[in-house]
Structure 1
Amino acid sequence: MSTTRRTLLAAGAATLAAPSLSRAQGGWRPDRPVTIIVPWAAGGSTDQMARIVATELEAALGQRFVVVNQPGASGSIGTRNALEAAKDGMTWAAGAAVDVGCYKVLGLLDTQLKDWNLYFAVANVNVLVANPAAGYRDFAAALEALKARGQGVSVATAGVSSAGHNMMEAIRAASQVQYRHATYDGGNPAMIATVSGETPMGAVLLVEAAEMIRARRLVPLAVQSEQAVTLQGVGEIPSIRRWLPSIPAPLNYFGIWTPKGVPENVVATMNQVWAEKIANSQRLKDYANQRAAVFAPLSGQNAYDEAWKMVRQTAWLYFDGGKARVSPDTLGIARL
């Protein structure tokens, strides 16, 4: 087991001594269904994670948690709806923490990571995949094509600020290649576009592409990870650092969040649920193992500190690539 995985599992287990929910005084008990807004299309990484988390929360709190897909504007539309909803704990957003941390840099939404109560379930790994007919058998071949044809090569992603877009911007910065950005309303549509041959390559999350990789409908070229990643039924997918040693590879944390300002009993109850239910969730552990993700039941300051690492790296990647509308340093995001 890697040091990162041991650290995350220990962080999740450290709070297991919290008192049981049944003994909590003044605990939050929602009296009607709670909404979790997934700001991406159905079937993608956020949607997959959110539906498992919703099931676990229903078991813990005895109330329905309804997942609603509201895609658009790189996830900022659904996130805005959660931000502007009544601060009563009844509306949550889901997604990748780096998106919430960079929306303001991109000029998409006036919010930052510090504005939210954060609850993470897993950390995901980016992967570059190719349609088998495209002829790219490894990342070296794809890189040569990008060097030779640049914007003549389409790469599907879930849109600006998505994990796949972040990966492609990191590749561009590390190798000086160009590419044509083909945007979709989520990782699943981007993955499907690559499977269908609408685009020759796709940059998505491994959890989204895993089944199509197993079915040999997609060729995994490289993961954006410090080391190679083993996918069940497939084997080892090489790290992109084999070809681009300097490319960053921070963990990409996914979870749910609600704006600061909700009642304290909502936060206190969710802290307990995360410590007692989510940190022991076999469903989430199985999901992570099957999809080559990292089980990461983090919350509060610990979650913020871990996510901030990728926010800093990504915010300046956008700025250096000319994608930022606001300079990160004006938002208190120091360059790494």
Structure 2
Amino acid sequence: MGSLTKAAFGAAASALALSATSALAQEWEPERPINIIVPWGAGGSTDQVTRVTAPIISEALGQTVVVVNQPGASGAVGTQEVLNAPKDGYTWTANAIANNATYTVTGMIPDTSIDDWHIYLSVANVPVVSVPADSPFQDFGALLQAFKERGSEITVATAGVTSSGGMAIAGLGTEGDFDYRMVTYDGGGPAAIATAAGEAMVTTQLAVEQAELIRGGRLRPLAVLSDEALTIEGVDPIPPITEWLPDFPIAPDYFGIFIPRGVPDEVIATMDRIWEEKVMNSEALKEYAQTNGAVFAPSYGEEARARAMPVVIEEACAAEERGLEVNDPSTIGIDCETKSEM
């Protein structure tokens, strides 16, 4: 899939102009608090970045924005709650966009796709393969050999089969031709903490979910699922997975806030403006990304959708290749023979 940097963060794209509908809509002034349902546990990647972004939106709107954790079924429980809620603009969700776009493929949520959402992306994240600080594995090469020899004896902590960490270890198992045993938790943060405590031998969750544990010497990072080294503040560069698996498919995993289609036009017009004026220039969000090994990459609307599609296609087709699909990716408009939209 090309370089992580080149594919997603080469030259910064200019923000799209507001759509004609948004430009004509009135400014929205919410009359009560807005709920953002994070369908994962506290401390994970989605929870972290949403709690950085929510205050920016709250200040711009002059209204409270409440982050509500509602984990379950790899994010499907909270996401379905948002889809079922009244389309009045007061219930949003946050997630990795690839999850929202592929829940139908994995059978978690029937008949939904990326186009059920207005998309507001904030950062891109990458998974990191880490082991407890006292692990005998000093580099990914040694761990890879152990996977090949011991297979399902090696336990891997993730936030679930369709989480970023779950898809990461599935991809590694396919590319490296090995088995493993997954241990699932209610979020990436809990999975990383459990690994640091010795409950699992490996985690493949996102860098932002591991950063403090890595900085504190409780986790040892072995490889980042990228074709470039990853730098986390205060930590030596983490080598790219392509040093060991040169053909490993790379696609940036975008996270953000999503508002369901069908809400009033003025909600979207106002959020477009806030995202362009405030979030895309937020020093707090930039600092969060730089400190935790994420990439500052805010966008919205059609630009956000275009940025998201490579990882959506990659994960939908990976689910099919690994036998994880319940519905064919063609049901959400993806052709896995060409790895493109239909």
Q: TM-score, normalised by structure 2?
A: 0.93
Provide the rounded CA distance (Å) in 1 between the counterparts of 2:288 and 2:331: 39
Give the CA RMSD over aligned residues: 1.6
Provide the rounded CA distance (Å) in 2 between the counterparts of 1:134 and 1:324: 34
What is the SS of the residue equivalent to 1:105?
coil
What is aligned with 1:284? 285
Tell me if structure 1 keeps the 8 A contact 2:193–2:213: no
Per the TM alignment, residue 6 of structure 1 is displaced from its structure 2 partner at its CA by 4.4
Per the TM alignment, residue 204 of structure 1 is displaced from its structure 2 partner at its CA by 0.5
Provide the rounded CA distance (Å) in 2 between the counterparts of 1:245 and 1:102: 26
**Counterparts of residues 143-162 of structure 1 (less than 5 Å):** 143-162=144-163
Tell me if structure 2 keeps the 8 A contact 1:83–1:258: no
1:30 has 2:22 as partner: no
Provide the rounded CA distance (Å) in 2 between the counterparts of 1:311 and 1:75: 16
Per the TM alignment, residue 248 of structure 1 is displaced from its structure 2 partner at its CA by 1.1
What is aligned with 2:83? 83
Per the TM alignment, residue 109 of structure 1 is displaced from its structure 2 partner at its CA by 0.5
The AA in structure 2 aligned to 1:5 is: F
Q: Deviations over 1:40-62 (max 9, x none)?
A: 00011111111111100011110
**Counterparts of residues 195-274 of structure 1 (less than 5 Å):** 195-274=196-275
1:69 has 2:73 as partner: no
What is aligned with 2:9? 5
Per the TM alignment, residue 327 of structure 1 is displaced from its structure 2 partner at its CA by 1.3
Tell me if structure 1 keeps the 8 A contact 2:25–2:266: no
Give aligned pairs, total.
Answer: 328
Per the TM alignment, residue 292 of structure 1 is displaced from its structure 2 partner at its CA by 1.5
Tell me if structure 1 keeps the 8 A contact 2:225–2:240: yes
What is aligned with 1:60? 60
What is the SS of the residue equivalent to 1:322?
coil
Per the TM alignment, residue 25 of structure 1 is displaced from its structure 2 partner at its CA by 6.4
Provide the rounded CA distance (Å) in 2 between the counterparts of 1:148 and 1:229: 28
The AA in structure 1 aligned to 2:82 is: A
What is aligned with 1:42? 42
What is the SS of the residue equivalent to 1:37?
strand
What is aligned with 1:185? 186
Provide the rounded CA distance (Å) in 1 between the counterparts of 2:66 and 2:15: 29
The AA in structure 1 aligned to 2:207 is: L
Per the TM alignment, residue 14 of structure 1 is displaced from its structure 2 partner at its CA by 3.4
Percent identity among equivalent residues? Answer: 46
Per the TM alignment, residue 232 of structure 1 is displaced from its structure 2 partner at its CA by 1.3
Q: Which runs of 5+ in 1 are unaligned?
A: none
